[in-house]
Structure 1
């Protein structure tokens, strides 16, 4: 499985544009996780990573903050038939919006934790028995998110924004940790778990087999 980080505060590749926000494309399933802050940057970065925006089939919105939803308009202009999964509290006017309240199976191997703390959902992807947890900003807290994700299977990887998270012991069971976007303690996480830590940034491709 290839997860392409197309929008992040920092750029992994010199040709990519960095901007405050987050978006990642789960290539194998044609699902875009969040949409960054600005649609023009999102589309340019996607093009540089070889992603045809018209081939996206679904969008998963973690929460309604501007730096995760800013590219929605441009994507809907390209294809207003997109299926969009949103947390129940986020009001979005579009053709195919699916509000998520509780833990939900979206596809055979793709799940939502459900909206946690009335603000944010996370996505769980299963691949060959490995469960990858995708987070937007982790507003509900990593402890609550990981507990919710664990109902589908033992988390293998954690990818996304962790804000001020510092309960580092919660990362111990994981094999891969990719802290990006709003994460405040990247240095500490890298020092504590160098074998698990992977740098993110716009242009980074994470491969999980």
Structure 2
């Protein structure tokens, strides 16, 4: 018989509940009830709710980083098409859940950045890592001739990250994926278009 991974089950249940209702509204008792374990089990694995929240963030970030790696380092397609494929995949996922979940890291950033410095610093580091993945892909696009050299890869990477997270927020509020569609359309027609190389 396979041994039960109670800690992983608690994190999985907590992730699902926090994704839907937020960190502050998610009680430890409700998470444990869903998993079917006593409260003592929780404190065996986590010293506090804060540590539990950080574990959820770390687990989500690890898995999401694998997702970014899959898309943004896919050598079967050109660098700009990697970014497009990633965004189109995100659009499809949001449509599947009726624009109800959004991005866990973005949601927690809005909820907790002003309340808890440990959460704020961890979330900021994750966003920084995501931004660098976009920047690396944009630099590859420049090397491949898909994007002009006068584009600042770091700045545009930050724009993609901020614009996408904002579009996800608006999609949740509107209960419509249209903000994501609009962002993708404008990004590729106005920002990531090849244009003309600047001349000195």
Which one has a larger percent strand, Structure 1 or Structure 2? 1
Q: Which has the larger radius of gyration?
A: 2
TM norm structure 1: 0.29
Which one has a larger percent helix, Structure 1 or Structure 2? 2
TM norm structure 2: 0.30
